[in-house]
Amino acid sequence: MEDARATIKPVAFRPTAPDGRRKIIRLNAWQLAGIVLAVAAAWFLWFMFTAKSVRFELTPPADDVVVDGGFQLRIGEISLLREGHYRLRAEAPGYYPLEVDVDVGPDRNQEFAYAMAPLPGRVTFASSPAGARVLVDGEDIGETPLTSDVDAGSRAVVITKENYQPAYLGVDVEGRQLPQSVDAELLPDWADVTIPSIPSGAAISVDGDQVGATPGPVPVPSGERRILVKLPGYKGWRDILQVTAGQPLTLSEIRLERADGLLSVRSSPRGASVTVDGQYEGLTPIEIAVAPGTALGVRVFKVGYAPVERSIRVESGTERAMSVELEALTGTLVVVAEPGDAELWIDGKRAGELGEPITLPAVPHEIELTKEGYAGYRKTVMPQPGFSQEVKVRLLTVAEARLARLKPSITTALGQELLLFQPSPIQLGASRREPGRRANEVLRDVDLSRLFYIGTKEVTNAEFRRFASGHSSGRFQDADLDRDDLPASNVSWEEAALFCNWLSSQEGKDPFYEEEFGSIVGINSGSLGYRLPTEAEWAWAARHVDDASPLLRFPWGDRLPPPSRHGNYADRAAAHVVGRIIFGYNDNYIGPAPVGTFGPNAKQLYDLGGNVAEWVHDYYEIPAPGQSLNPLGPHEGDYHVIRGSSWMHGTLTELRLSFRDYGAKGRNDVGFRLARFAE
């Protein structure tokens, strides 16, 4: 027995060498057939497992139904189709072919219903009488008798013929090319009307068309008809008849009247007025029906021409013509103008020289005078026949005409009067040498060129309370400031500006001051709405007398004290309520006086000195000496200017018209007046 512990030795492995040939499996015919049958069976089982049961419900049932788009298996009325997109086509006699897209979804059982549209029906339309128009659903398809294809369904048919009542029919068209007949018996839409007349044989017209002669009868369409019976040599007979179809009508006997004569009047020139026996008939050329066989007084006349009068006789039923040549009348016109070298135009044409007689027809003429630098002048004149007429004209300069176009005074919706002024440049402030001058009264020039209106009086408590019903000017010690006729005080500058805007709105004017949330934030310098006077306007209205005189120092002149009862200043009556008074002066008012109590200045403005000092439009500043200023003042600032003395003022400084104060809030002795630009 060999030793079990013999050593096992590895040897090198060598694979069997290939013989160089691949083994081919060969199947016989029976095997191939079996494989094909197995694949087909597997596919069929897969189709049956994944296919959906689809039923197509067609109305009416179709003879030929085809489903394109993939394999299908039809079992009776059920089609087995896989999920996807298909095309269904169907046909049935008498219907339009059906062709629709079908999307088969994931549901196991599905049903699709479709209604096939029937083909039009063959409808024959007939009417008695024939020749009527046929409208189907509003579309005109021809004239009876006719046969036409008409879409299936309920159709509205109207059959109409002139002079017959329309037939309205509802027709159910079966369609499917089936023949149908529609017959309509049209009823007459007229009535026989008999119109006996003396004499007979007169022509009868209905709505302007002649239809026969009296006595008739004549067919007249139903409805409201205008009847005219006319016989040569006789007046026409007219009436309006209400005719009902099928109901004969006999009118009462008509006795025709002999016709008027016809007078035809023409003139040269045309457009002349014509009267017959004093009665106005119209303008030439004209035809006038006149009473026959009598003498008629005919007058033809036209402005600028001599009238023509004639006696005319016209026989019944005849026409007579009258033609007249009107003789033109003339007058002499002399135009004298200043300046003498102005150009004269008459009726738009350059005329002769000024001062020379011009002969013109006696009709209205438009004369015009022009000269460079002057406003034109126009006037319509009527030369008087046989007389010489003189027209004298002074041409206004452009500035004069500009002023003349504006009203010299206006009245607000509250009844306040404002006067128009054409200002001139002014120097504001005072000389350093003037006693009482303050440092803010710097001499500066303002070029005032824009025309403006300014109130003759200060705004009263009653007027201000129309804007702010709860306003009270209050009291100052023993002085009552709140009466209706006293100037409104204790009013801030902004409240005064808001009052101006409110008054502008009452009259439909654009506001001068721009507002945001009840505060003034700017101005509209082009506005013609109410505002406060500018400082320059206030100074010009208070100090300017005329261009040849120096500016006033005080409201009354150049020296203190003021004349007796000149205005309301700090006087003896107010000595116990104010600090400084005018010694020896008494105006009898402790506080403010009713506006306009004292006399006006040279420009007919009241209280520019005394009563209450006044807010003006400008922001307050102290300008540089000799500076030319904007007429509306600075664009911004913290305070506004106050001008004029008040009932509390009695010193030399305060009484001067150049005195300037400033502030923002209301004060017992500060009010305001209105102003606005004129253009």
pLDDT in tens, 228-237: 998 877 778 8
Nearest to 486 by CA among 497, 495, 476: 476
The predicted model gives 219-234 an average pLDDT of 86
CB 192 within 8 A of CB 217: yes
Q: Express each pLDDT in 139-175 by its tens digit.
A: 898 999 999 999 888 999 999 988 888 989 989 998 8
For 424-433, which contacts have Cβ atoms below 8 Å and span 24 or more sequence positions? 424/448, 424/540, 424/544, 424/547, 425/449, 426/536, 426/539, 426/540, 426/543, 426/544, 426/551, 427/551, 428/535, 428/536, 428/539, 428/629, 428/658, 429/658, 430/656, 430/658
Distance CA 440, CA 285 (A): 83
Residue 4: pLDDT above 50?
Answer: no
Distance CA 289, CA 311 (A): 15
Give per-residue burial for 387-425: e unless 16+ CB within 10 Å, then b: eebeeebebbeeeeeebeeeeeeeebebebebbebebee
Confidence (pLDDT) at 363: 86
Distance CA 538, CA 672 (A): 11
Distances (CA, A) of 399 to 42, 372, 419, 541, 631: 114, 13, 18, 20, 20
Residue 2: pLDDT above 50?
Answer: no
Confidence (pLDDT) at 24: 61
Distance CA 25, CA 230 (A): 124
**β-sheet bridge partners, residue 183:** 126
Q: Express each pLDDT in 540-580 by its tens digit.
A: 999 999 988 999 999 999 999 999 889 999 998 888 888 88
pLDDT band at 7 (very low <50, low <70, confident <90, very high): low
- At position 226, the amino acid (one-letter code) is R
- Total Cβ atoms within 10 A of residue 586: 14
pLDDT band at 418 (very low <50, low <70, confident <90, very high): very high
CB 181 within 8 A of CB 124: yes
Residues in the chain: 679
Structure tokens at 198: 């003396």
CB 607 within 8 A of CB 585: no
**Vertex 68, ends 66 and 73: CA angle to 5°?**
75
- At position 422, the amino acid (one-letter code) is Q
The whole-chain average pLDDT of the chain stands at 89
Cβ neighbours of residue 51 under 8 Å, at least 6 residues apart? 73, 80, 81, 82
Name the residue with tokens 């721009």: 514
The predicted model gives 330-353 an average pLDDT of 89
CB 302 within 8 A of CB 270: no
Confidence (pLDDT) at 8: 61
In the chain, the percentage of residues whose pLDDT exceeds 70 is 96
Distance CA 576, CA 648 (A): 11
CB 312 within 8 A of CB 300: no
Residue 1: pLDDT above 50?
Answer: no
Residue 535: pLDDT above 60?
Answer: yes
Distance CA 429, CA 513 (A): 27
Domains and CATH numbers, the chain: 42-115 (2.60.40), 121-185 (2.60.40.1120), 190-255 (2.60.40.1120), 261-327 (2.60.40.1120), 329-400 (2.60.40.1120)
Conformational region of residue 403, where left means phi above 0, alpha means psi within -120 to 50, and beta covers everything else: alpha
CB 147 within 8 A of CB 124: yes
Residue 416: pLDDT above 60?
Answer: yes
Of the ranges 179-183, 285-289, 507-511, the best mean pLDDT one: 507-511
- Edge-first strand order for the sheet with 330-338 is 358-361, 330-338, 388-394
- At position 320, the amino acid (one-letter code) is R
Q: Express each pLDDT in 296-313 by its tens digit.
A: 999 999 988 889 999 999
| Helix (H) or strand (E) run with residue 111 in it | strand 109-115
Nearest to 284 by CA among 298, 268, 307, 296: 268
52-59 and 109-115 strand pairing: parallel
Q: Express each pLDDT in 481-500 by its tens digit.
A: 999 999 999 999 999 999 99
Please write down the HEC assignment for all residues of 363-409: CCEEEEEECCCECCEEEEECCCCCCEEEEEEECCEHHHHHHHCCCCE
Residue 530: pLDDT above 90?
Answer: yes
Nearest to 435 by CA among 339, 351, 558: 558
Confidence (pLDDT) at 18: 54
Confidence (pLDDT) at 125: 92
Higher-pLDDT residue of 235 and 99 is: 99
The predicted model gives 103-129 an average pLDDT of 90
CB 100 within 8 A of CB 114: yes
